[in-house]
Amino acid sequence: MTKLFDLSGRTALVTGSARGIGYSLAEGLAAAGAGVIVNGTKADTVDAAVSRLREQGFDARGRAFDVTDEQSVAAAFAAWDAEGIDVDIVVNNAGIQFRKPMLELALADWQRVIDTNLTSAFIVAKEAARRMIARGRGGKIINIGSLTSEGARATVAPYTAAKGGIKMLTRAMSAEWAVHDIQANAIGPGYILTDMNQALVDNASFDAWVKSSNPSQRWGKPEELVGTAVYLASPASSYVNGQIIYVDGGWLAVL
Ligand code: NDP
């Protein structure tokens, strides 16, 4: 019988994995047997993350590139082709936040957030899926959504639009690629303790709001997303497609 959650022999690219949620997902996929490719915008932090993974005995390599830059993404995949590295699993995790009321929001800032959180998933998945289809062995695409894939909050309009878009882009990927045995799904994390949220954790009223809105009454930890990522990267999810799974401590389940 297929080992349901075994990722041995697979290679996973996790974008934005030099730190935060992406690092934890890379570590978790590696622990499940995958070779992992770490990415971020800076070579030194990517290299440091690769070293941390290798110290644990994991198969890890890295490449710094900007996921919004189509040429850089294409060059990365071309380099892996030349090295004989097949990316079987893609986690579109890289993302940024930018808080400003819409009436004060510059178009350039709107565009930057949309490009990083939404368009990047299209750019990276397109390069990966083209190769998965040519190889004929299927593949896995995991996009990172958010609670804002479902609900809006003031001051984060482009992030909300991008994460809502991630939910529908995931369905669009399934519509076109499921026939090629590619499963495209998304994870919607609740509020997770990472650099992105440090200012919110330090804000007593926001911290209290997170704890009171959520039946778990606490922030999530990056490693709590690993189980869902391994499931969606593994043979266990071979007939799961176009879904977004919320890992939010129960937030969206309650009033
Ligand atoms: P962090 O800010 O801790 O880390 C973001 C990572 O993305 C960094 O490694 C960063 O690289 C990378 N990155 C940003 N822009 C680019 C780019 N253009 N090209 C390549 N890499 C890039 O964020 P989190 O770990 O908190 O968030 C990860 C994902 O999870 C995001 O998509 C976020 O929207 C989502 N999410 C987070 C939640 C949370 O509560 N933290 C909740 C819901 C969703 P570098 O290190 O070089 O800056």
**66-97 pLDDT per residue, tens:** 999 999 999 999 999 999 999 999 999 999 99
Residue nearest to atom 10 of ligand 1 (CA): 16
Question: For the chain, how many structural domains are there in total?
Answer: 1
Does any ligand 1 atom lie closer than 6 A to the CB of residue 200? no
Nearest ligand 1 atom to alpha carbon 191? 40
Over residues 57-72, the pLDDT tens digits come to 999 999 999 999 999 9
Q: Kindly state the percentage of the chain with pLDDT values over 70.
A: 100
Question: Does 213 have pLDDT greater than 80?
Answer: yes
Kindly report, residue by residue over 36-57, the tens digit of the pLDDT: 999 999 999 999 999 999 999 9
One-character DSSP codes across 212-244: HHSTT-S-B-GGGGHHHHHHHHSGGGTT--S-E
The average pLDDT across 155-168 equals 98
Q: Where are the alpha helices (DSSP H) in 146-225?
A: 157-177, 198-201, 204-213
Mean residue pLDDT across the chain: 97
Q: Mean pLDDT, to the nearest integer, of 137-153?
A: 98
State the DSSP code for 4: T
CA of residue 23 to ligand 1 center, whole Å: 10
Residue whose CA is closest, atom 6 of ligand 1? Answer: 16
Bridge partners (DSSP) of residue 244 are: 186
89 CA from centroid of ligand 1 (Å): 18
Q: pLDDT confidence of 1, banded at 50, 70, 90?
A: low
Nearest CA owner, ligand 1 atom 39? 192
Calculate what percentage of the chain has a pLDDT beyond 90. 98
Q: Are 182 and 141 in contact (CB under 8 A)?
A: yes
Question: Of 52, 70, 96, 153, which is best to mutate to test ligand 1, by the most ligand atoms within 8 angstroms of its C-beta?
Answer: 96
- Report the CATH number at residue 12: 3.40.50.720
Query: Domain residues for 23?
Result: 2-254
159 noted as active-site residue:
yes
Give the span between the Cα atoms of 244 and 184, in whole angstroms.
9
Q: Report how far residue 255's alpha carbon sits from residue 253's, in angstroms, rounded to the nearest whole number.
A: 7
The number of beta carbons lying within 10 Å of the beta carbon of residue 31 is: 16
Q: Are residues 173 and 140 in contact, defined by beta-carbon separation less than 8 angstroms?
A: no
